[in-house]
Amino acid sequence: MTIDRSKKVALITGVTGQDGAYLSEILLRKGYVVHGIKRRSSSFNTGRIEHLYQDPHVLDQRFVLHYGDMTDSTNLIRVIQQVQPDEIYNLAAQSHVQVSFETPEYTANADGLGTLRILEAIRILGLSQKTRFYQASTSELYGLVQQVPQSETTPFYPRSPYAAAKLYAYWIVVNYREAYGMHASNGILFNHESPLRGETFVTRKITRAVAAIRHGLQDTLYLGNLDARRDWGHAREYARGMWMMLQQETPDDYVLATGETTLVRDFVTAAFAEADIALDWSGHGVEERARCARTGRVLVEVDPRYFRPTEVDLLIGDPTKAREKLGWSHETTWRELCAEMVRHDLATIAREQRAHAE
């Protein structure tokens, strides 16, 4: 494969995920050649980037996919050697907090050691001064509340195998920056969502259920902890922030957040309202439920199977540093985000039903 060196070259791990898709779009629009690492899967896993796909036979290919895995050092070294990227965005991870309690060792391997593997590959290949590195760090690092709002100086207290793995990744990035002078930055991103959000994360689980209930395809939405508070922003805006971090002269760590926090329960209420369904809440703890205000039918129930062994109760980020140094700020409010996701999921079901009827 010949690589066009007149354009900036980026390599994205986790290119098939929510953020990978938005970041690819942004970089392609900026004129980059974008390489992505995708996993081999027995089922289709490129739905989010299908519109960017280019036939490998076209000349001047600007979007190139490579098979790979964060647990395979030799693969990562080979891809990085071949691509010689100006920028690497490390977005690949087992990113589900609850699943990390079921698969703690794999999560540590992919999310923690996987980050080390890429940093080592950069070093071994003599790219320490050429390749800039972005690490997908997370507000989950704050875990048990120490202080709010959480900023770059707030102490970490991880509350899951996922967060503990990401803690290792965070510090190994800082270490490689200090030890080898790499341009390596951590984006400490608070929750960001979109119509591309994975279907088992709470926002998308809610908006998909609202759409299915509205269309008569589902009876009840079962959820876990409704009292958790999250700082939810729009994924596209956060992907732009990742790029901004790597354009700085010096590497650094930045919080991206909206500065507003919302209860899971309030997101549920807003999502149903967007589909013209008003909810009446009653009960507490596992007995809590929400009924349709018009029909009295129970639409939302608590299922303890979704409780986590240890929970992160409250996240609210302070994005002052990103605003002042990067000029980054969020635009979409959580209510606008919720409405966009519900409208998207309603439209998807309506389209599927029309196709079915034809």
Active-site residue set: 138, 140, 162
Q: How far is Cα 14 from Cα 42, in angstroms, rounded to an integer?
A: 17
**Per-residue CA distances from 47 to 7, 17, 52, 240 (Å):** 26, 9, 10, 21
Q: How far is Cα 280 from Cα 298, in angstroms, rounded to an integer?
A: 9
| DSSP designation for 118 | H
How far apart are the two ends of the chain, measured CA to CA in Å?
Answer: 44
User: Does 262 sit near ligand GDR (CB under 6 A)?
Assistant: no
230 contact choice in ligand NDP, ligand GDR, none (CB below 5 to 8 Å, kind-dependent): ligand GDR
| DSSP designation for 158 | -
Stretch that binds ligand NDP, among 90-98, 170-178, 206-214, 274-282 (CB under 6 A): 90-98
Per-residue mark of binding to ligand GDR, 86-115 (x: CB under 6 A):
---------x-xx-----------------
- Which of 306, 335, 343, 349 forms a contact with ligand GDR (CB under 6 A)? 306
User: Does 237 sit near ligand NDP (CB under 6 A)?
Assistant: no
Question: Which DSSP string corresponds to 303-330?
Answer: -GGG--SS---B--B--HHIIIII----
- Which of 138, 150, 207, 225 forms a contact with ligand NDP (CB under 6 A)? 138
Stretch that binds ligand NDP, among 191-199, 204-212, 290-298, 337-345 (CB under 6 A): 191-199
User: Does 110 sit near ligand NDP (CB under 6 A)?
Assistant: yes
Tokens of 333: 């409010």
Q: Are the beta carbons of 91 and 110 closer than 8 angstroms?
A: no
Residues 6+ apart with CB under 8 A from 88: 10, 11, 12, 13, 80, 118, 122, 131, 132, 133, 134
User: Does 150 sit near ligand GDR (CB under 6 A)?
Assistant: no
User: Does 200 sit near ligand NDP (CB under 6 A)?
Assistant: no
Per-residue mark of binding to ligand GDR, 208-247 (x: CB under 6 A):
---------------xxx--x-x-----------------
Question: Which DSSP string corresponds to 240-302?
Answer: HHHHHHHTSSS---EEE--S--EEHHHHHHHHHHHTT--EEEE--GGG-EEEETTT--EEEEE
Phi and psi of 145, rounded to 5°?
A: -60, 120
Closer CB to ligand GDR, residue 139 or residue 207? 139
Closer CB to ligand GDR, residue 122 or residue 312? 312
Q: Which amino acid is present at 107?
A: T
Q: How far is Cα 132 from Cα 180, in angstroms, rounded to an integer?
A: 12
Q: How far is Cα 6 from Cα 96, in angstroms, rounded to an integer?
A: 38
Q: What's the min distance (Å) between Cβ of 340 and ligand GDR?
A: 16
Stretch that binds ligand NDP, among 10-18, 123-131, 280-288, 334-342 (CB under 6 A): 10-18
- Which of 9, 10, 11, 18 forms a contact with ligand NDP (CB under 6 A)? 18
Residue facing ligand GDR at closest CB distance = 228
User: Does 299 sit near ligand NDP (CB under 6 A)?
Assistant: no
Q: What's the min distance (Å) between Cβ of 60 and ligand NDP?
A: 25
Helix (H) or strand (E) holding 37: strand 33-38
Q: What's the min distance (Å) between Cβ of 202 and ligand GDR?
A: 4
Q: What's the min distance (Å) between Cβ of 95 and ligand GDR?
A: 4
Which residues lie near ligand NDP (CB under 6 A)?
A: 13-14, 16-20, 39, 41, 45, 69-71, 91-95, 110, 136, 138, 189, 191-192, 198
